Chains A and B, each alone.
Chain A
Amino acid sequence: RKEVEQDPGPFNVPEGATVAFNCTYSNSASQSFFWYRQDCRKEPKLLMSVYSSGNEDGRFTAQLNRASQYISLLIRDSKLSDSATYLCVVNEPSGGVSGAGSYQLTFGKGTKLSVIP
């Protein structure tokens, strides 16, 4: 079975710190990559998509290395509001009766971040 592996965490960092999350995936046919954020007892929400060229959204930077099957998320100048669990998510072909072109998301177990005052 295809896997998505993340740092187990938890990460406890002071406000203002820079923190990096790493993720590896095993299915080389994976097409799309994401970081989701999940607050305690809430649903996951998309934080950002990850592109081969790397992409940045404010304090958040995501990188993808297809050759190494590795994804990263960097958070700069951590805020208390960044405290959450960060899920690495990979979109891969699912096959099944739905046929070619069907995809499903495979989720990592998540890395919990606590930003401390």
Chain B
Amino acid sequence: NAGVTQTPKFRILKIGQSMTLQCTQDMNHNYMYWYRQDPGMGLKLIYYSVGAGITDKGEVPNGYNVSRSTTEDFPLRLELAAPSQTSVYFCASSSTRGRNEQFFGPGTRLTVL
């Protein structure tokens, strides 16, 4: 089991560019999540999904979009990158109802200049 994998590990974007952060899990988890972590701050939930075809906004969804066409994949899309989106992005998954452990990917470090 690879667990949760994320690509790319690092990326530098120019203002206004777009990109997709990829996330894949091989644990057959229903729940998947995207978080961002700014320096000295707690993780903030961007979007989450309770299963294929179902997504919902978290605390900080503005500027992002997601889709969940399969159980395994949960990509995060940035359409018009802004400096405020400079952060570390973590994808996570869990088995049922979020009461159980969340498993995190290694993160994507994104800089928008």
A19-50, CB under 8 A of B: which get 1 and which 0? Answer: 00000000000011010000000111110010
Q: Would A103 and B99 be within 8 Å (CB), given that A43-B105, A43-B106, A44-B90 are in contact? A: yes
Interface size on B, residues (CB 8 A): 25
Excluding A87-B42, A104-B33, 8 further A-B contacts by CB distance (< 8 Å) are A32-B99, A42-B107, A43-B90, A94-B58, A98-B48, A102-B56, A104-B98, A105-B45
Q: Would A43 and B104 be within 8 Å (CB), given that A98-B56, A104-B45, A108-B42 are in contact? A: yes
B102 surroundings in chain A (CB, below 8 A): 46, 105
Q: Which of A43, A102, A110 has the most CB of B within 10 A?
A: A43
CB distance from B39 to the nearest CB of A (A): 10
CB distance from B5 to the nearest CB of A (A): 11
